[in-house]
Amino acid sequence: QAQLVESGGGLVQAGGSLRLSCAASGRTFGRYVAWFRQVEDKEREFVAAINWSGGHTYYGDSVKGRFTISRDKTLNTVYLQMNSLKSEDTAVYYCAASSSIILSSIRFSTAYANWGQGTQVTVSS
């Protein structure tokens, strides 16, 4: 399976923007690529997912309208553009991928076997 490497996290003020990247090396991503986020001691929350071949996108309710997931097939990279950031967006953001996942499971972290190391996003209010 591909090795996933996230980048782009950091500290930003509320209302600002960040763009996260998830690059796959070794192999292509697979069928779906997703972003999840996790705050200490809480379960990982689904943020967004994209179908690698067709480009269809899906979003969690808390980020809909503010975040955009996209892909660049030539660079084998998935992006998460985050706008209008809020303090509650503070979390470690993880990229995940799966070759076998089905559409009905894309919002569940347990359905993904391949994960990146995570990147911290901190939004100051």
Dump pLDDT digits (tens) for 31-46.
999 999 999 989 999 9
Q: For the chain, give the longest Cα–Cα distance.
A: 40
Q: Give the pairing of strands 3-7 and 10-13.
A: unpaired
How far apart CA 58 and CA 46 sit, in angstroms, is 10
Task: Give mean pLDDT, residues 58-82.
Answer: 97
Mean pLDDT across the stretch 2-14? Answer: 96
Token pair, residue 98, equals 């799966």
Torsion of CA 32, 19, 45, 42, to 10 degrees: 140
Report pLDDT digits (tens) over 12-67. Answer: 999 999 999 999 988 888 899 999 999 998 999 999 999 999 999 999 999 999 99
pLDDT reported for residue 30: 87
Q: Percent of the chain at pLDDT above 90? A: 88
Average pLDDT over residues 89-110: 95
Average pLDDT, integer, range 72-97: 97
User: What is the overall mean pLDDT for the chain?
Assistant: 95
Q: What gap in Å lies between CA 75 and CA 103, rounded to an integer?
A: 24
* pLDDT for 1 beyond 90: no
Count H helices, E strands: the chain? 0, 11
Cα–Cα distance, 39 to 70 (Å, whole number)? 24
**pLDDT at 40 (0 to 100):** 92
Report the candidate in 94, 88, 92 with the shortest Cα–Cα distance to residue 123: 88
